[in-house]
Amino acid sequence: MRPAQPSTPTTPPLPWRGIELIIAERALTGVFPTHDGHACIWICNPSADAHAARRRAPTREAAFTAELVRTAPELAERLRSGRRTSAVTGMLRTPNHIRRAHGPGWALVGDAGYHRDAVTGHGLSDAYRDAELLTVALHQALRGAADKGVALAGYQDLRDRALRDIFELTCGLASYPPVAEFVELQKQLGAAIDVEAAAVAARPVLGDRELARA
């Protein structure tokens, strides 16, 4: 369940301290300040728990509030002086899967090629990375430096290797293990994102290399 509940403060403003992440058993609750004193308040938890919470409450808003009290009571108390400015919404059934990256006349990048649970909040940069890897493969094929099938297979291999560690960590986090294990997985995720960023930064830029030869 990933409801977004923007809350606008009355006077005085709610003291948003920046992005907040609150870990509880089988749940990750968060705050993303946005604009004009608003913030997006959300809860990630297993779909079964979200369904159960909704069955226990008369409305979606009441279900969200009850889960907020359970998972982040201090935050729930702070929000009592705020005002909800949009409806509570949710997203269920977010499978983790990887698709083949190419075929006759087509190729996939980013979320089109694989889907990860949103529990990490990480992934937009994948589309840029994959687009660059695919561009290099197509450049090689169009220039005749490599067979198209070989170039695209190489793209898929690089993509799969680049996504593997964070994909596996995401699957682990999306199972919502006990808090201590969840925290350890978050630390591993942070390290994996640093490694991923360093690998992307170290890749040569095709355009710069071509200009250097001119």
Q: What pLDDT score was predicted for residue 131?
A: 94
Q: What is the pTM of this model?
A: 0.81
* Residue 196: CB atoms within 10 Å: 18
| 105 and 208 in a common domain | yes
pLDDT in tens, 92-112: 878 899 999 999 999 999 999
Q: Are 174 and 118 in contact (CB under 8 A)?
A: no
Q: Please report whether residue 92 resides in a domain.
A: no
| 208 and 105 in a common domain | yes
| 39 and 12 in a common domain | yes
Query: Can you read off the two tokens belonging to residue 201?
Result: 């930064």
Domain tally, the chain: 2
| 78 and 137 in a common domain | no
Q: What pLDDT score was predicted for residue 8?
A: 42
The share of the chain scoring above pLDDT 90, in percent, equals 71
Distance between CA atoms of 24 and 188, rounded to whole angstroms?
Answer: 18
Which domain does 103 fall in, by range?
Answer: 97-213
pLDDT-flagged residues of the chain (< 70): 1-13, 206-214
Q: What pLDDT score was predicted for residue 94?
A: 83
- C-alpha to C-alpha distances, 49 to 10, 53, 56, 100, 109, nearest whole angstrom: 32, 6, 11, 32, 32
pLDDT in tens, 52-78: 999 999 999 999 999 999 999 999 999
Q: Please report whether residue 55 resides in a domain.
A: yes
